[in-house]
Amino acid sequence: MLLFLAKKTGLFSSIKTSTGKISEELEVSQQTVSRKLRSLKEQGLITLASSPQGCEISLTEKGIALAREHFFELKKFFSKGKTRELEGKVSLGFGEGRYYVSQEPYLGQFKKLLGFRPYLGTLNIVVEQEKLEKFLLNSKPIFIEGFSTKERSFGNLKAFKIKIFNANGAIIIPERTKHQKNTIEIISPVFLRKKFSLKEGSKTKIRIA
């Protein structure tokens, strides 16, 4: 939220807006926006003046200093370099990928947003977490919305288009997962294990699509 406000104010000016407008831009609830703004104000990072028409927000000196600190930390991270390829090894999953991927509300969004209907299952690959983070810097996340049925709810997903060998695919990252952070799930329109004769421990190489 602080970085969002830094961008909007240019650090040194103020903005007149509303929690509704901010919630639309950040794609979060108005309650979340209000809570975060109150927290920033209590920490002395922003000034916040509310009125029936909305609110006026500016960063304090303390807020500007913290935003600058974040900038230098991010600059160091990005300067380490990004990678367009990621190596890993095939791992056995929990056997739940087929169930989740086969849900029609997900399938419809995969087709519309990723350009394919996936094979009903996921390929799990273990990678180095730091290299994964750098790899994903090159790809814009595609947001897949969750949904609810009479029985249960299914969470949001983030998807990143990739190529694995010569096949199209996508890394999908659920909001809730049983996997470790260094294990990624890949969907593809083809049965990757069969097409490329993959088994547990097989080495793979992924690249940005």
Q: Where are the domains of the chain?
A: 2-79, 85-208
Return the percentage of the chain with pLDDT > 70, whole number. 92
Taking residues 159-171, report their average pLDDT: 94
Taking residues 89-101, report their average pLDDT: 83
Indicate the CATH number for domain 2-79.
Answer: 1.10.10.10
**Whole-number pLDDT of residue 75:** 67
Nearest-5° Cα angle at 107, 104 to 108: 90
Measure the CA–CA gap between 163 and 205, rounded to whole angstroms: 9
Give residue 208's pLDDT band: very low, low, confident or very high (50, 70, 90): confident
The predicted model scores a pTM of: 0.61
**Whole-number pLDDT of residue 107:** 95
**Is 199 in a helix, a strand, or coil?**
coil
Tokens of 56: 């006026």
**Whole-number pLDDT of residue 51:** 83
**Class of residue 23 by CB neighbours under 10 A (exposed 0-12, middle 13-18, buried 19+):** middle
* pLDDT for 205 beyond 80: yes
* pLDDT for 178 beyond 70: no
- Going by C-alpha positions, the residue among 40, 48, 54, 158 that lies closest to residue 110 is 158
* pLDDT for 80 beyond 80: no
Measure the CA–CA gap between 208 and 206, rounded to whole angstroms: 7
- Going by C-alpha positions, the residue among 156, 26, 182 that lies closest to residue 89 is 182
Q: Identify the weakest region by mean pLDDT among 10-14, 43-47, 143-147, 179-183.
A: 179-183
Measure the CA–CA gap between 105 and 157, rounded to whole angstroms: 12
* pLDDT for 74 beyond 80: no
| Cα 184 to chain centroid, rounded | 13
Taking residues 114-132, report their average pLDDT: 92
Whether domain 85-208 has CATH 2.40.30.30: the reply is yes
**Whole-number pLDDT of residue 96:** 75
**Whole-number pLDDT of residue 79:** 56
